[in-house]
Structure 1
Amino acid sequence: MKIWVLMIIISSALVLAGCNASTEKMEEKKSSSQYNMGNPTPQEVLEGRPDANIMMVQDIVLLSGIDWVNEEELTKDELLLEITLQTDDAAKFVNGAANELPVGTKVYRVKERGDILIADTDKGDVRYYKLVEG
C-alpha cells in the first residue's frame, strides 16, 4: 500500500513538472516575434524587408511593390488622407506615416477593392496593399 501511495505521489510530481515546463515554453513563444497574432507591425515588416516601401493607415501597415497589385485595373476614389510623417524609424510609425512617401502625399481609396490604396506622387501613382492577418 505504501508503495502505491509513493508511486502516485512521484507520478503526480512528474506530471506537474512537465506542465510547468510546457507553460514556460508557451510564455517564451508568446514573447518572441515568431508567435505574433494579428496584423504585422512596421517593425516586423522592416525587419523582414529592410527596403520595403510602407505606410500606416487606420493602424494597418500597407506595402507597395507587389506585382499582382500593380497589375490590377483600379480607379482612384475619394481622398482618404495625406501623409503627415516621413520616417525610417519603425518605432515612430503612426497613422499617416510612411518611410518613402513625402509629407503631404495624398492617399486615395480604390473603387474596386478595399484592401488597396493609391498614393498620388510626383513620379506617378504608387499602389499599396493592406497587410492583414487572416
Structure 2
Amino acid sequence: MKQYLKLIICCIFLITACSNDYEEVSRKAILKNSPDADLIELEDGTIYSHGIDWVEEREFTKGEKLGVVKEGMATKLPNGAIIYNVKESYPVIIVEYEDKMKKYLMNQGE
C-alpha cells in the first residue's frame, strides 16, 4: 500500500513539475497594472500589447490577414484596422490602419 502511495505522489509531483510555466494574462489584469496600455484582444481571447522595445526595433514580414478590429477588441486602435500575423516564428501581429503600422506582442504571464 505504501508503494502505491509513493507512486501516486511521484506522479503528481512529475505532472506539476512539467506543467506549462506560462498562462494567458487577462485583459483586466493588464489594464489594472497599466491603465493606458495599448492592447488588442483577438477573437480567440489572445491578448497582444504594443510598445515593446525589442518588437519595435525588429523587422517583421507581414503574413496572412487574421481579421479586422471590431468594437471592444482594442484599447487604442480604430474599428476596421487590419490584423496580420508575421511570417517569422514570433508571437507577434501587425495591425495596419490609416497608413500606420503597429506591432503587437502576445502577452504571457507566469
Query: What code does the residue aligned with 1:47 have?
Result: K
1:69 match: secondary structure: helix
What is the CA-CA distance between 1:38 and the residue it aligns to? Answer: 2.7
How many angstroms apart in 1 are the aligned matches of 2:109 and 2:30? Answer: 13
**Structure with the bigger percentage of helix:** 1
Q: Calculate the TM-score normalised by the size of structure 2.
A: 0.73
> Is 2:37 the partner of 1:52?
yes
RMSD of aligned C-alpha atoms? Answer: 1.6
Query: What code does the residue aligned with 1:118 have?
Result: I
What is the CA-CA distance between 1:123 and the residue it aligns to? Answer: 4.9
Which 5+ residue runs of structure 2 have no aligned equivalent? Answer: 1-21
* Counterpart for residue 118 of structure 1: 94
Q: Calculate the TM-score normalised by the size of structure 1.
A: 0.61
* Counterpart for residue 78 of structure 1: 64
- Give every structure 1 segment of 4 or more consecutive aligned residues whose post-TM-superposition deviation is greater than 6 Å: none
Query: What code does the residue aligned with 1:61 have?
Result: I
From 1, 20, 23, the equivalent of 1:38 is 23
How many angstroms apart in 2 are the aligned matches of 1:55 and 1:114? Answer: 17
Count of matched residue positions in the alignment of Structure 1 and Structure 2: 88
Deviations 1:62-92 (A, max 9, x none): 0000010011121101100101114xxxxxx
What is the CA-CA distance between 1:113 and the residue it aligns to? Answer: 2.7
What is the CA-CA distance between 1:39 and the residue it aligns to? Answer: 1.4
Deviations 1:38-76 (A, max 9, x none): 311111000111110001022111000001001112110
